[in-house]
């Protein structure tokens, strides 16, 4: 494990261009930590997000200590979970190296070896400061609106209202001192037509009609309108009253006036703030949903880019988010939702949305529910942001890492195999050299034989190279070995599939038999060679080399390299038996080998 862990150190990732490119392409702060939580790699965007001078100052530092003290227990728990093989996700504030307070959403994923054991941690940190700020702004806006409403209600209760009275007989309007002050400081007694002059021209007909229309007793006059004071300043008035009747005859009007300029200014301020927030949400690509449970009303602000197939309704988000979550993520998100409610903390999650068209869209969601004293929901505010591009980037990063690991594993296997092949080849060359020099007293002849045998070994290796050192057929091997001699031969029986070691052994054997046939056997004259493959009743494979038509054959007076190779080397390598019959009609070499995955008969269906 120590060796594997070191493979995930800074030296490996810093020097691997393929892996570096994959991580550097991420817009987020991507780090590789060892299992002790020390930074082994950080991408360029990560250095910029953390506002560090360079990556060198970060390498080897404990990621935990880059967080403020209040956040460290949460981070330490997440690191332990990641080291135990479980993906973790935490969100919290942290200061950059230049002192800025930012909010980060962090995914801590274990990197495992081939046995599934964690060897390092991949940490992807996304700056969600703007999202957090938008959520806080929405909360502040709600608090401000509630506060303003409360202040206005209190002001209405304690405010001094200015009274007024209109007499239809004299067409005069009489104002109280407070009413005169509220209406801009004009005379306390004026005609009703003069009283209309403080209003905008376009509003005067509406107000005059409201004042003059006949009303039954008890019906109220109530209107709001902008007006201009005597000093030229602008304001808003709310005027309410009722008709005055004497002996059943409407004789005038009476009521009160209230300056609502501050209230209207507050409404305008809130309206502009809402417009700015909506603009910010549009620019950030965010969707904010507000649920009023008492009125069963759903309000949407923010981006016009649709996340869902259809426009959401109140029932889609009440009592939970199950309807909008893709079925693949529904169980997990429901558990996260229940946990947030139980802990009375904001809900945070990432999931795929439920769409009928099958289009995959990932969102980051933040939501919080306000409850009444009985624990029933009053209001829910939720923010959704499309993070599909980031999710695809994360997936590409993980795929790149997996591809890199697979490439390294394959490369190691190839190097191990090459090392093994080179050792075997050198051993074979050494054996051929020793045996050739021992059998031949004439050095020139020994040199020629040695070269011929090396060429035969090379031909066999070339065949295996074309087959990627996987396996080769006996028919291919025989053709490659015997065809260069230009003498008659034939192959009969089923073909055999041989593993690389068997290919080398049988290739050398066929070369020695062919050389012997050319010098001492059938090919010395007008004879031929037949190579036959058959399956014995015992299940063994029988390969027979039979020479005919070359004249009488005499047994050798001594056992040379070829005989020893066949009777000992080939028999030992193939795990079988080899017999040489020097019949007068021609040499017969019989090789009997048990079938195995290393040597098998090729059936017709193969």
Mean pLDDT of the chain: 79
Q: Which domains does the chain have, with CATH numbers?
A: 2-127 (3.30.450.20), 158-266 (3.30.450.310), 285-386 (3.30.450.20), 468-601 (3.30.565.10)
Any bridge partners for residue 581, and if so which?
588
Give the C-alpha distances (Å, rounded to integers) separating 560 from 382, 439, 484, 501, 514: 90, 6, 23, 23, 15
pLDDT for position 359: 80
- Contact, 361 vs 382, CB < 8 A? no
More confident residue, 477 or 69: 69
* Phi and psi at residue 571, to the nearest 5°: -60, -40
Whether the Cβ atoms of residue 46 and residue 94 lie closer than 8 Å to each other: no
pLDDT greater than 60 at residue 278: no
The band of 39, judged by pLDDT with boundaries at 50, 70 and 90, is: very high
pTM, entire model? 0.34
Backbone angles phi, psi at 191, to 5 degrees: -70, 160
Q: Count Cα neighbours of 103 within 13 Å in the Cβ-side half-sphere.
A: 11
Q: Give the pLDDT mean for 249-276.
A: 82
**pLDDT value at position 202?**
93
How sure is the predictor about 122, in pLDDT bands with cuts at 50, 70 and 90? very high
Instruction: Please count the other Cβ atoms lying within 10 Å of the Cβ belonging to residue 423.
Output: 10
Residues 162-189, mean pLDDT to the nearest whole number: 86
Q: 361 Cβ partners below 8 Å, 6+ apart?
A: 307, 352, 353, 355, 386, 388
- In the structure, what pLDDT confidence band is assigned to residue 32 with cuts at 50, 70 and 90? very high
């Amino acid at each position: 494990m120590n060796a594997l862990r070191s493979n995930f150190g800074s030296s490996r990732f810093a020097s691997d261009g393929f892996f570096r490119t994959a991580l550097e392409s991420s817009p987020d702060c991507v780090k590789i930590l060892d299992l002790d939580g020390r930074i082994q790699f950080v991408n360029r965007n990560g250095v910029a997000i953390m506002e560090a001078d360079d990556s060198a100052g970060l390498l080897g530092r404990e990621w935990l200590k880059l967080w403020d003290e209040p956040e460290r227990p949460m981070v330490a728990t997440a690191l332990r979970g990641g080291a135990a093989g479980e993906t973790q996700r935490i969100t919290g504030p942290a200061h950059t190296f230049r002192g800025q307070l930012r909010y980060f959403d962090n995914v801590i994923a274990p990197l495992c070896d081939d046995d599934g054991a964690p060897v390092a941690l991949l940490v992807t940190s996304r700056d969600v400061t703007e999202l957090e700020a938008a959520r806080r702004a929405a909360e502040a806006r709600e608090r401000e609106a509630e506060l303003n409403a409360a202040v206005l209600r209190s002001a209405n209760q304690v405010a001094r209202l200015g009274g007024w009275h209109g007499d239809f007989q004299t067409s005069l309007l009489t104002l109280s001192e407070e009413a005169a002050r509220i209406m801009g400081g004009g005379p306390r007694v004026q005609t009703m037509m003069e009283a209309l002059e403080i209003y905008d021209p376009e509003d005067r007909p509406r107000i005059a009609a409201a004042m003059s229309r006949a009303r039954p007793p008890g019906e109220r006059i109530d209107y709001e309108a902008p007006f201009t004071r005597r000093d030229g300043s602008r304001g808003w008035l709310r005027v309410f009253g009722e008709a005055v009747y004497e002996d059943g005859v409407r004789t005038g009007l009476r009521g009160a006036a209230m300056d609502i300029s501050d209230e209207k200014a507050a409404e305008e301020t809130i309206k502009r703030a809402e417009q700015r927030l909506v603009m910010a949400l549009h620019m950030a690509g965010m969707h904010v949903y507000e649920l009023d449970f008492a009125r069963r009303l759903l309000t949407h602000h923010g981006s016009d880019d649709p996340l869902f197939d259809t426009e959401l309704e109140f029932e889609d988000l009440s009592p939970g988010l199950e309807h909008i979550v893709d079925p693949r993520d529904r169980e997990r998100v429901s558990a996260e939702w229940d946990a947030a409610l139980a802990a009375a903390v904001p809900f945070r999650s990432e999931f795929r949305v439920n769409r009928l068209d099958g289009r995959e869209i990932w969102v980051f969601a933040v939501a919080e529910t306000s409850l009444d004293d009985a624990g029933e929901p009053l209001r829910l505010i939720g923010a959704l942001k499309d993070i599909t591009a980031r999710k695809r980037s994360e997936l590409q990063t993980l795929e790149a890492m997996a591809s890199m690991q697979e490439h390294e594993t394959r490369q190691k296997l190839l190097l191990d195999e090459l090392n093994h092949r080179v050792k075997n080849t050198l051993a074979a060359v050494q054996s051929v050299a020793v045996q050739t020099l021992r059998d031949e007293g004439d050095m020139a002849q020994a040199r020629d034989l040695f070269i011929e045998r090396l060429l035969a070994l090379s031909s066999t290796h070339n065949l295996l190279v074309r087959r990627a050192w996987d396996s080769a057929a006996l028919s291919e091997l025989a053709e490659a070995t015997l065809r260069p001699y230009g003498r008659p031969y034939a192959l009969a029986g089923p073909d055999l599939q041989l593993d690389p070691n068997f290919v080398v052994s049988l290739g050398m054997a066929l070369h020695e038999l062919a050389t012997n046939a050319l010098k001492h056997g059938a090919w010395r004259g007008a004879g031929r060679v037949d190579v036959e493959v058959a399956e014995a009743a015992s299940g063994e494979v029988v390969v027979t080399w039979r020479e005919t038509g070359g004249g009488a054959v005499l047994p050798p007076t001594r056992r040379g390299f070829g005989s020893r190779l066949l009777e000992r080397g080939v028999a030992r390598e193939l795990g079988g038996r080899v017999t040489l019959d020097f019949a007068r009609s021609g040499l017969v070499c019989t090789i009997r080998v048990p079938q195995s995955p290393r040597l098998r008969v090729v059936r017709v269906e193969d």
